[in-house]
Copies of this chain bind each other. A is one copy, B any other.
Amino acid sequence: MIPGPTPVPEKVLQAMSQHPIGHRSGEFQSIVERTNAQLKWLHQTNNEVLVITGSGTAAMEAGIINTLSQGDKIICGDNGKFGERWVKVAKAYGLDVITIKSEWGQPLDTNEFKSQLEEDKNKTIKAVIITHSETSTGVINDLETISKLVKAHGEAIMIADCVTSLGACNVPMDKWGIDVIASGSQKGYMMPPGLSFVAMSERAWTRYEKSNIAKYYLDLGPYKTTAKKNSNPFTPAVNLYFALEQSLSMMQSEGLESIFKRHSKHSAAAQSGMKAMGLKLFAAENHGSPAITSVEPENIDAELLRKEIKKRFNILLAGGQDHLKGKVFRIGHLGFVSDRDLLTAISAIESTLQSLGLLTTEMGQGFIAASKVLNE
């Protein structure tokens, strides 16, 4: 129950464990053709979705360095570890970064984006970068509103880290006018880590032509050219493609609406359960991510609790990152997670709190509250 790697269906593991085939074979091209179409479906876009063998960071970095040039002014939202990372990436490549910060646990303030963009009369801002679902804090940022503001600005492009939002909640790329979306396989995709994905709008591709940042493995031009031929510029992780085709087929069978509802229900159940057992949510009210619930158990060592739950129930929860270590724990409910998994996790937390003498509410309240949401 961590926010990645997420659980993987047996069918996907089986698909992955087939003997690899030549990445230049017709058989493999057929797989790429099918996954390319499936990826467009998942992103709700007509843009090509490119596949990189690498982590989500590789995809996000590719999105940034393929659309921008040294010295370009950009806005980067920073309200958690991943927001922080994109600031670092942007600075590593010599971009001129305006950081819009919120405290960890708080969402990005859309008004700050509004005023920065509106004040930029000379259209010097070339991009806005945000993390949609901030995995480190369990906060979902308002990508739809910020995308609209970016569109209204006219010059800037919208670059979004959708690593833990894609496949968990609605991210209609074309409808919202997002120019770059990056994601990773070990999240909503229900498969192991190793593949990452970048989708770019036509507008983003016009910026690609102007970009002066040096790159080779992460140069998306050859990925686009080869994607059109159902191929890849470099040897891809062939077995992860087998997994990708299987997992996306399962997602298509479930349907986007149904996937989003399931995640939203699990998120509501986890939040409700935690509150009912007297635990404080870390993410600001109404800004909890559908993928992950971050909990700040006051006067309780979160690491001790995590270890005890792992020991007694063999359920792994995520810990806090950086300054949140020991202060928060995080329940991942992203990807291949069922009502049973969610209810089991809530029950295990409540039972462990009781056994440690740390439960401040009547035993069973967390379980009852979570169950109620799941039954609605």
A19 to B, closest residue via Cβ: B8
List which A226-263 residues lie within 8 A (CB) of chain B.
234-240
**Would A235 and B92 be within 8 Å (CB), given that A17-B14, A23-B5, A316-B25 are in contact?**
no
Number of interface residues of A (CB under 8 A): 49
A237 touches B235 (CB 8 A): no
When distances are taken between beta carbons in the complex, the residues of chain B under 8 Å from A4 are 235
When distances are taken between beta carbons in the complex, the residues of chain B under 8 Å from A318 are 22
A337 is an interface residue with CB less than 8 A from chain B:
no
Q: How far is the CA of A56 from the CA of B23 in the complex (A)?
A: 14
Q: Which of A166-174, A186-194, A275-283, A288-296 contacts B (4 or more CB under 8 A)?
A: A186-194
* Contact among B2, B8, B238 for A193, CB-based, below 8 A: B238
B217 touches A23 (CB 8 A): no
Mask, A81-95, CB within 8 Å of B = 1, is 000000011001110
List which A37-73 residues lie within 8 A (CB) of chain B.
53-58, 61
List which A312-336 residues lie within 8 A (CB) of chain B.
316, 318
A192 touches B238 (CB 8 A): yes
By secondary structure, the A interface counts as: loop
A215 is an interface residue with CB less than 8 A from chain B:
yes
A31 is an interface residue with CB less than 8 A from chain B:
no
* Contact among B7, B19, B193, B214 for A13, CB-based, below 8 A: B19
- Closest CB-CB distance, A185 to chain B, in whole Å? 9
Q: How far is the CA of A92 from the CA of B218 in the complex (A)?
A: 12
B55 touches A235 (CB 8 A): yes
- Closest CB-CB distance, A154 to chain B, in whole Å? 28
Among A19, A25, A214, A215: residue with most chain B CB under 10 A: A214
Q: How far is the CA of A102 from the CA of B257 in the complex (A)?
A: 58
When distances are taken between beta carbons in the complex, the residues of chain B under 8 Å from A236 are 55, 193-194
Give the number of copies in the complex.
2
- Closest CB-CB distance, A51 to chain B, in whole Å? 12
Q: How far is the CA of A22 from the CA of B3 in the complex (A)?
A: 9
A316 to B, closest residue via Cβ: B22
When distances are taken between beta carbons in the complex, the residues of chain B under 8 Å from A219 are 92
B19 touches A7 (CB 8 A): yes
A20 is an interface residue with CB less than 8 A from chain B:
yes
B20 touches A2 (CB 8 A): no
B57 touches A214 (CB 8 A): no
A240 touches B16 (CB 8 A): no
A217 touches B13 (CB 8 A): no
When distances are taken between beta carbons in the complex, the residues of chain B under 8 Å from A368 are none
- Closest CB-CB distance, A232 to chain B, in whole Å? 9
A374 is an interface residue with CB less than 8 A from chain B:
no
When distances are taken between beta carbons in the complex, the residues of chain B under 8 Å from A213 are 214
Q: How far is the CA of A82 from the CA of B36 in the complex (A)?
A: 27
B216 touches A214 (CB 8 A): no
A54 touches B54 (CB 8 A): yes
- Closest CB-CB distance, A316 to chain B, in whole Å? 6
Q: Can you list 6 A-B contacts with CB-CB less than 8 angstroms, sorted by A residue number?
A: A5-B20, A5-B22, A5-B235, A55-B234, A57-B216, A193-B235
